[in-house]
Structure 1
Amino acid sequence: MSTPPATPLVQAQGIVKRYGPTVALADGRLTVLPGESHALVGRNGAGKSTLVNVLTGLQAPDEGTVRFDAEPAPPLADRDAWRRRVACVYQKPTVVPELTVAENLFINRQPVSRGFISWRRLRAEAADLLDTWDVRVDPEARTADLKVEDRQMVEIARALSFGARFIVLDEPTAQLDNREIERLFARMRSLQDSGVTFLFISHHLQEVYEVCQTVTVLRDARWIVTAPVAELPRAALVEAMAGEAITEQAVQVRDVDAGAPVLLDARGLTSDAYQAVDLTVRRGEVVGLAGISGSGKIELAESFTGLHTPSSGTARLNGKRLPFGDVQAALRAGVGFVPRDRHAQGLVFGMTIGDNATLSVLDRLGRFGFVGTDRKRRFATDLIERLDIHTEGPDQSVSDLSGGNAQKVVMARALASDPHLLVLVNPTAGVDVKSKESLLSRVDTAREDGTAVLVVSDELDDLRRCDRVLVLFRGRVVAEYPAGWRDHELIASIEGVDHG
C-alpha cells in the first residue's frame, strides 16, 4: 500500500507581481514539503527576492495564491500570524547588535512582572529556547560580539520561538568561511531532523547539492523547473538557469589591438574582499568583472574609483600611480564612475538634471569657484543630447525622470570629464529595454574614443559588450573568457560549478 503524498508545508501558485511597468514575477511557483531543505536558485533578476517577499507576507501578490499547510495565507496586516508560519534570515543580520542574545530573542515581548521587565525570567526563557534548538550561544552575550554563524542561529531560534517551522535562508553562507559553512549545514540537518523546513537561497550551486533535497529554478521572472537535487545534474541545472535559447547565442568577437597601450595596470591588489588581483585594461578595451555576491568584484572595481583602499598592491592609470581611498583624487586622475546604486550614490535628487550631469566638471565651467550659468547650461544640454535623455531640459528636476533616464544622467556625469578609465557597476540595473540598449551603446562609443572601460555586472547582456570577462570567486580571479563565450560556460564559472 503506497504512502499518500505529504501535504505541502508551503505552496505558492501562479504568483504575479508588478511594480509599475516592470513585471518582477510573471509566474512564481513553489511547493515545499515538510522537513525538507528546498533550494531556490536563479540568476539576479530571476524573481527570487520578489517570491520571498510574497512568501513572508511583506508584499501581496497581484495574482496567485499562497497556502501554508493547505490553509490560505493570513492577511498581510496580521503580522503575528505570519510570524507563526514563516521567517526569513537575511544575508545582513536583523538583530540589534548592542543588545544581548536574550534581549534580541524576546525583543518587544519581554516577560513582565508587576509592570516591569523580569530580567531573570528573560534570561531563563532565552536559555531554555537556545537549549531546545541546540543553539550553543551565551544568552547574556552582546550580539555584536557573536560570529556571523551564531548570529544567524540566534535569528533562527527567534523565528522558531514564534512557532514558525518554515525558515527562509537568504544567502546564508555569503560571509562564512568553509569551516563555518560546514557547521551551518550540520545545524541545518539537525534542525530538519527536529521538524524544521528550509528554503535555501544561494548562488553557490555546490551548496545546493550538499544540503538540499529539492531545487526550484526561476528564470526571467518565471518558474522553470522543480526537481529532486539527486536527479538533476549540474549541467542541467545551469542550463535551466541560463535558458536553452540564450545558451546558443555566441558573443560577437571583436578585434582588440594587442599593441594598444595599457591604461590601467593593477598588480597584487589585496583587501578583505579580494586577494592578489592582477588586472590590465588597454586603451579602447572593455573588460568585464563577473561573479556572485561576495566574490569581491564590486569592491575591486570601487577601489579604482577611490571608494576603497586595498591593504596591499598598486594601480597605475596612464602611467601614474592611482590614489586609493580618495574619490576626488581618483576623478582628477581620470576615473569616471557609474555607481551601483543611482539613488543612494549616483544622484542628488534635490538638484536639476543639468546640475547632476555637470557635478564632476564644475572646475572646467568657471574660474575662482564661480561657475558660468550659460556655459554650464550649454554643456549639460550637449550631454542630454549625446545620451538621448528624455527631458524638458537641463533645468528639470532629476527626481522627475524615469529609471532609465535617471541612469543616463549618471552616465552623462561619468563621461563629462572625458575619463581615461570608465568604471561601470551594474550600469543597466532596473532600466527598461530601450534605455538599456542606449546605455550599452555608450560603452561602444567609449571604446571607440579610446577609453579603458571596466564593467561590473550580473547581467549577461552587459558582459556581452566586453572584449574579455574576468570571473571572481571568493575574492580571486579564477577564469578569463575572451569575447565569444557562451552563456552556460560563463554562468557555470560564475556559480563555481566544477565540470572537471
Structure 2
Amino acid sequence: MSTPLVEARGIAKRYGPTVALADGQLTVYAGESHALVGRNGAGKSTLVTVLTGLQAPDEGTVRFDGEPAPALTDRDAWRRKVACVYQKPTVVPELTVAENLFINRQPRSRGGFISWRRLRSEAAEVLDTWDVRVDPEARTADLKVEDRQMVEIARALSFGARFIVLDEPTAQLDNREIERLFTRMRALQESGVTFLFISHHLQEVYEVCQTVTVLRDARWITTAPVADLPRAALVEAMAGESIAAVEEKAARGDVNAHAPVVLEAHGLTSDAYESVDLSVRGGEVVGLAGSSGSGKIELAESFTGLHTPTAGTARLDGQRLPFGDVTAALRAGVGCVPRDRHGQGLVFGMTVGDNATLTVLDRLGRYGFVGTERRRGFAGELIERLDIHTEGPDQPVSDLSGGNAQKVVMARALASDPRLLVLINPTAGVDVKSKESLLSRMDSARDDGTAVLVVSDELDDLRRCDRVLVLFHGRVVAEHPAGWRDHELIASIEGVDHHG
C-alpha cells in the first residue's frame, strides 16, 4: 500500500502514576475519513494531543508522509501538517471571519500596517477555494455552529494542513446540520483532505467513515474497514466484555417495591436536557449514563442546587426541591460529591477535619461558634468510617493522595445524613483500592435507606446500580435493570441498536 499520511506507533503517555495511554496506534491514509472511537478514558484525547504536537509522547513515534513529526517547538511546521477542530470554538467570537482566518499573519502594506483590503480579498479566496459559503466580514459570534466549524477547517487548510481532526463535531448540531456537515466532509475528501473523526455516536461512524480504530483501557484494540465490522462487533471491541465476566456480576438484592419514593421529578427541561421524568426510592441506587454531551451531569447538578431548570418540578420526600440554591438543597436533604474534587469539592487551604465537616457546622456549635473538640471528634469518626489514610483531622487536605482526598469529599456528603445522595463521577482518577472503598460507601448508604443517584462514565460504578437510565442528546432513551451487559449499555449510550 502507499505510505500512510499519518502513522503513530507505540504511543505511551503517563501523568505521574496515571497511564493515559499505554499503546496508542493509528495509521491513516490520504483521502479517507478515519474514525477514532472508545469510551471516555480510553485514551483518545491523549492520542490527539500527541498527533497535533501539543505534547510529546513518553514513548513511540509519529510520522507524516513517512517523515518524522516536526519538533514540538516548531508550531508553523505542525500547522502545515495537522489541525484539530474541537467541540469548543478556538476562534475569537468578536472578530470577523476574515480576521480569524488570518489571525497573527495578517497581510501588511509596505509601511508595515495591516492591509484590510488584502485581508478581505485573501479571506474570500480561501473561503471560495474550499467552498465555505460564509461572509468574510461577518462577526464570527453570529455564525451558526456548523459554519463556525467550517471556518476553522478553512483556516487549517489555508496553512497547508490536509489532515483535520474533528473532535465530537456533531455534539451541538441537529440532524439537518449533521447531514450538511457530512456532505461538506465528503466534498473535502474528494479535494484531498483527510479526516480523523472522533464521535460517541457510532451510527455516524458508519455514515461518514471508511476505517475505524478502537482504543480501550489506554490501548489500541483494532483497526478495520467500517464495512467489515458489524455494529455488535464494534461495541464489543469498545466494551471488551466476555460472557464469563457478565455471569460473574454480583446479583443485587431487589429494591423494596414498597419503599417510599424519595426523589420524584417531572418534565425537567433546561438547555442541556429535555422532558426528564425520574424517581428514586429509598434504598435504591439509580445510575445516569450517557456520552459527554448527553446532559447527564447537568441533570444531576440541578438536584444539588447548581442549576435551575427552565421547566418541570422535583420533590424530595414530598417537599418541593429548591433549584438554583446549593445551601437550600443541602438543608432539604441533598448530599453531593461534585464532578471536580479540586475545583468544587475541597478547600485546599483547610484541614481534613474542616473539609469533612463543612456541611454540618450548625450541629457542632451554637450561635455561629463551632466547638473545636466536637468538630475534631466528629471528623475523627468520619475518617474512621471512610478509612481515610491521614495523620488526623488537623492534617492539610492538600497533603492527601487523590483517592483519600475523594474520600474526604464523600465523607462531607455523608456527614449531613442526606435523604438523597448525588454522586458525580465519584471514582474518577482514583486507584483501585480507593475506588472499591468509595463504592462500598455507596452500598452502605443504599442499605441505610438513602436514595442514591450516580452519574459516571465508569461501568464499574454503574454496575452497582439497581437500574441505569441512559441520556442521549438530553433525553432519557433507555432504562437498563441490574444485570445488563456492557455491550447493551454502551450501545444505548452511543445511540445505536446493539442488534444492528
The TM-score, its normalising length taken from structure 2, stands at 0.97
Q: Which structure 2 segments of 5+ residues have no match?
A: none
Which has the higher mean CA deviation after the structures are superposed, 387-396 or 445-454?
387-396
2:82 corresponds in structure 1 to 86
Aligned-residue offset at 1:189:
0.7
Equivalent residue number for residue 240 of structure 2:
243
Counterpart secondary structure, 2:272: coil
Out of 56, 59, 78, the residue aligned to residue 55 of structure 2 is: 59
* Counterpart secondary structure, 2:308: coil
Q: Equivalent residues in 2 for 1:304-323 (5 A)?
A: 304-323=303-322
Q: Does 1:77 align with 2:76?
A: no
Deviation at 1:89, TM superposition (A): 0.7
| CA separation of 1:199 and 1:247: change in aligned 2, threshold 3 A | farther
Match of residue 29 from structure 1: 25
C-alpha deviation, 1:355, in angstroms = 1.8
Match of 1:201 in 2: 198
Matches for 1:62-141 after TM superposition, within 5 Å: 62-113=58-109, 114-141=111-138
**Structure 1 residues not aligned, in runs of 5+:** none
Q: Return the alpha-carbon distance in structure 2 between the equivalents of residues 141 and 359 of structure 1.
A: 50
Q: Which residue of 4, 8, 16 maps to 2:4?
A: 8
Which of the residues 248, 251, 254 maps onto 1:253? 251
Asked if the contact 1:167–1:197 (Cα under 8 Å) also holds between the matched residues in 2, the reply is yes
Q: Secondary structure at the match of 1:388?
A: coil
The 5 A counterparts of 1:328-407 are 328-407=327-406
The structure 1 segments of at least 4 consecutive aligned residues displaced by more than 4 Å after TM superposition are none
1:39-75 deviation per Cα after TM superposition (whole angstroms, max 9, x unaligned): 0000111111111111111111111110000000111
1:158-173 to structure 2, matched below 5 A, reads: 158-173=155-170
More off after superposition, 398-407 vs 69-78: 398-407
Superposition RMSD in Å: 1.2
Q: Distance in 2 between matches of 1:206 and 1:60?
A: 32
| Alignment check: 8 A CA contact 2:132 2:150 kept | yes
- Tell me, in whole angstroms, the C-alpha distance in 2 between the residues paired with 1:200 and 1:366: 57
Please state whether the residue corresponding to 1:116 is helix, strand or coil.
coil
Deviations 1:459-487 (A, max 9, x none): 10000110111111111111111111111
Give, in angstroms, the shift of residue 252 of structure 1.
2.5
Letter paired with 2:6: V
| In 1, Cα distance between equivalents of 2:90 and 2:368 | 45
> Aligned letter for 1:468?
R
Q: What is the aligned-residue identity percentage? A: 87
Give 2:178's aligned amino acid: I
1:143 matched to 2:137: no
Q: Write the deviation string for residues 167-223 of structure 1: whole angstroms up to 9, x where unpaired.
A: 101111111111111111111111111111000000000000000000000011111
The residue type paired with residue 353 of structure 1 is V
CA distance in 2, matches of 1:99, 1:47: 34
Deviating more after overlay: 488-497 vs 240-249: 240-249
- Look up the SS of the partner of 1:423 in the other structure: strand
Does the residue aligned with 2:223 lie in a helix, a strand or coil?
Answer: strand
Give the 3-state SS of the residue equivalent to 1:440 in structure 2: helix
Q: Distance in 2 between matches of 1:244 and 1:449?
A: 32
Hey, what's the Cα distance between the residues in 1 that align with 2:142 and 2:258? 53
CA contact (8 A) 1:253 1:467 kept: no
Which residue does the alignment assign to 1:267? Answer: 266
Question: Which amino acid in 1 is paired with 2:207?
Answer: E
Q: Secondary structure at 1:249's aligned position in 2?
A: helix
Deviation, 1:99, is: 1.4
CA positional deviation for 1:125: 1.4
State the secondary structure of the residue aligned to 1:225: strand
Q: Does 1:233 align with 2:234?
A: no
Deviation at 1:152, TM superposition (A): 0.9
* Aligned residues of 1:17 and 1:61 also touching (Cα < 8 A): yes
Deviation at residue 246 of structure 1 after TM alignment: 7.0
CA distance in 1, matches of 2:401, 2:242: 30
- Equivalent position SS for 1:445: helix
The change in CA–CA distance for 1:246 and 1:150 in structure 2 (over 3 A counts) is: farther
Moved more, 472-481 or 245-254: 245-254
The count of residues paired between Structure 1 and Structure 2 equals: 496
- Structure 1: which amino acid aligns with 2:160? G
* Residue of structure 2 in register with 1:453 after alignment: 452
Query: Cα distance, 1:405 vs. partner?
Result: 1.3
Q: What is the SS of the residue equivalent to 1:444?
A: helix
- Residues 248 and 486 of structure 1 are in contact (CA less than 8 Å); yes or no, is this contact kept in structure 2? no
